[in-house]
Amino acid sequence: MNILMLGNNGFVGSVVQEKIKQNNNVYVVNENFDVTEKNETFNMLNRYVKEKNITCIINCIAMANLDDCEKEKELCKKINLEFVKCLCDFSVNKKIYLIHISSNAVYDGNNAPYSETDIKNPVNYYGKCKAEADDYINNKASNFAIVRPITIYGSKNKNDRHNPVTYFVEKLINNESIKLVDDNIVNMVHVKDFADAVSFIIDNKLTGEFNISGDVSESRYDLGVRICNVLDIDLSLIEKVSGKDFIMLAERPNNTSFNNSKMKIELKIKPRSLDRTIMDVGCEYRNK
Ligand SMILES: NC(=O)c1ccc[n+]([C@@H]2O[C@H](COP(=O)([O-])OP(=O)(O)OC[C@H]3O[C@@H](n4cnc5c(N)ncnc54)[C@H](OP(=O)(O)O)[C@@H]3O)[C@@H](O)[C@H]2O)c1
């Protein structure tokens, strides 16, 4: 397929791009663009679609920091909802297969584990925009896949945002103490498992919604304990706290863990070992 990849320089987009390049012609936008500039963005997308004969678009663009989204609601809405709606209309109009990346933030965290058919009930503004975008695509398009990752972990490039594993490992290896919440539970997914899922969906032209997660459902505190045990780090560096002890702009759902049966059966993804990745990330940071 001739695929146009949007958001290819983000944490998720960069790994997805590497994976799907194996079986497809993948194009990225070479010039700087800002999706809040609607006319310029869609003129440019139109040009790429024509010139490269694009048959599939993958949208990994998002304003993904929950607290920033709560603080700058208008900007969040433009990037995470308005742009997605226009991209959906554009794809339907041009008969392009749309792959859109959603989020576990569409769920309220009170009824885990969540499968694809469960009700969305977001508790923060980021989640509200992501949920509304998913519903819009579901109602307007037929040739689409909404791929919904839970919190994603894995090695990161220098300029990528930290994920829980890289952040905690770096702090703990530098002997810094950290407070970790015992609520906010997820079964995190490795970024390469997520990329494998997207690649399988594209190769088999699957449509619908897919919840993508790992197998280990645990709190940030339990993850910290796991990291200390795997990397032989002093457990006294971590302190168990509650999310209620932090003042955060965006409310965090309690437990958004996924039921990943559809991912395992239909996409044949077997989640990578979390401990193995912790060891690899630990080696990277110890060798710095
Ligand atoms: N990471 C996770 O744990 C996680 C969990 C659940 C869902 N997700 C979803 O996964 C997708 C990718 O997230 P990520 O973690 O890879 O985020 P990220 O590293 O912050 O990447 C976001 C991407 O969006 C682009 N972008 C942001 N604002 C833009 C704008 N106004 N115009 C054009 N491009 C813009 C960024 O480009 P620039 O760098 O050039 O601004 C970057 O390529 C998102 O849909 C997110 O909601 C992620």
The domains of the chain are located at 2-153+189-216+257-271
Residue 288, pLDDT above cutoff 80: no
What pLDDT digit, counting tens, does each position of 219-244 carry? 999 999 999 999 999 999 999 998 88
Instruction: Quote the pLDDT of residue 229.
Output: 98
Range of weakest confidence among 77-91, 102-116, 159-173, 196-210 = 159-173
Write phi, then psi, for 71 (nearest 5 degrees). -75, -40
Exposure string over 91-102, b if 16+ CB within 10 A, otherwise e: bbeeebbbbbbb
Residue 41, pLDDT above cutoff 90: yes
- Arithmetic mean of pLDDT over the chain: 96
Instruction: Quote the pLDDT of residue 24.
Output: 97
Q: What is the average pLDDT across 189-204?
A: 98
Q: Which residue's alpha carbon is at the smallest distance from atom 13 of ligand 1?
A: 12
Contact 101 CB / ligand 1 (< 6 Å): yes
Report residue 25's pLDDT band, with 50, 70 and 90 as the boundaries: very high
Q: What is the average pLDDT across 245-271?
A: 94
Q: What is the average pLDDT across 143-168?
A: 94
| Residue to mutate, 4, 8, 11, ligand 1, most ligand atoms under 8 Å from C-beta | 11
Contact 35 CB / ligand 1 (< 6 Å): yes
Q: Is the separation of the CB atoms in 43 and 56 below 8 Å?
A: no
Give 16 Cα–ligand 1 centroid separation in angstroms. 12
Q: Is the separation of the CB atoms in 84 and 7 below 8 Å?
A: no
For residue 163, which atom of ligand 1 is closest to its CA? 3
Instruction: Quote the pLDDT of residue 140.
Output: 98
Residue whose tokens read 């742009």: 83
Instruction: Quote the pLDDT of residue 73.
Output: 98
Q: What is the average pLDDT across 127-148?
A: 98
> Position 149: which residue type?
P
* Paired strand residues for 6: 59
Other beta carbons less than 10 A from residue 85's beta carbon: 14
Contact 36 CB / ligand 1 (< 6 Å): yes
Structure tokens at 253: 């759902």
Fold of the 2-153+189-216+257-271 domain: Rossmann fold (3.40.50)
Contact 131 CB / ligand 1 (< 6 Å): no
Contact 61 CB / ligand 1 (< 6 Å): yes
Residue 287, pLDDT above cutoff 90: no
Instruction: Quote the pLDDT of residue 241.
Output: 93
Residue 158, pLDDT above cutoff 90: no
Residue 206, pLDDT above cutoff 80: yes
Give 237 Cα–ligand 1 centroid separation in angstroms. 31
Q: Which residue's alpha carbon is at the smallest distance from atom 17 of ligand 1?
A: 10
* Paired strand residues for 160: none
Q: What is the average pLDDT across 121-133?
A: 98
Instruction: Quote the pLDDT of residue 101.
Output: 98
Provide the percentage of residues in the chain whose pLDDT is more than 90: 94
| Residue to mutate, 60, 67, 212, 258, ligand 1, most ligand atoms under 8 Å from C-beta | 60
Contact 145 CB / ligand 1 (< 6 Å): no
Instruction: Quote the pLDDT of residue 280.
Output: 95
Q: Is the separation of the CB atoms in 166 and 174 below 8 Å?
A: no
